[in-house]
Amino acid sequence: MSRTVNTEQVEQSIDDFLSQEIWNDNHLKFYEMLLRTAKKYSKNAYSYKNYSNDNRDIINNIQEQPWFQISKNQPKILHLLKNMHVQNIETDPAYVVRLNFNNNLWFVIEYLDRQRKGKREVKYRVSFCDNMDDHAYICYYSSQHLRSRKLPEYERLEQYLTGLTRYDIIMLSNELVIYYDCDHHLSKIPMGHDYPLPLKKLALETTDQLQLSK
């Protein structure tokens, strides 16, 4: 549950306590607790400072896209994006982005390409999931665990993104990948073992199919 804190009052209380000329054990313990707490949440502060404007940038970009302008689900898509925040970004050994949409919904981008024990290991996935880490995949590949999948897993994706069309889901996912796939790892690679198209190409073909159906 989100809580609001009056930071001025908290800061004043801390300052009043620590500004006493003569310290005792309580002052030292309190000071050390502040240092531990600051270190504990430093990654959260870093993520917020560096990614707090992502929502605005992504929304501004998506609103300019033709696919969004013809979508009948604009309010639902905007609601998702306005509630989105970066849960965490990892860079070693894999590049992983986790976006939290709240309401028990996450979006995950993961890419790994490394040499391990003399063999190349490649793994990537793009998916929506819940807090039980149960994934509905758009893209999935693992050189270590070859597995056929029917991608994208539309039926499972629709369970997580109620009310959005398959077209909306693909186009929204593609926009998020474009934004966070800084090194363009996922722009050209196939979506999976049995699916030769990259996500970007699928998005283009999906748009073409929609236009032909008019």
Spans of all domains in the chain: 7-40, 53-212
Q: Which tokens belong to 112?
A: 């790994």
| pLDDT > 90? residue 101 | yes
For 36, how many CA atoms within 13 A lie in the half-sphere containing its CB? 6
pLDDT in tens, 126-181: 999 998 889 999 999 988 887 778 899 999 999 999 999 999 999 999 999 999 98
pLDDT in tens, 31-42: 999 999 988 887
pTM over the 0.85 mark: no
CA distance 89 to 58: 17
For 204, how many CA atoms within 13 A lie in the half-sphere containing its CB? 6
Give ∠ CA 119-201-70 in degrees, rounded to 5: 145
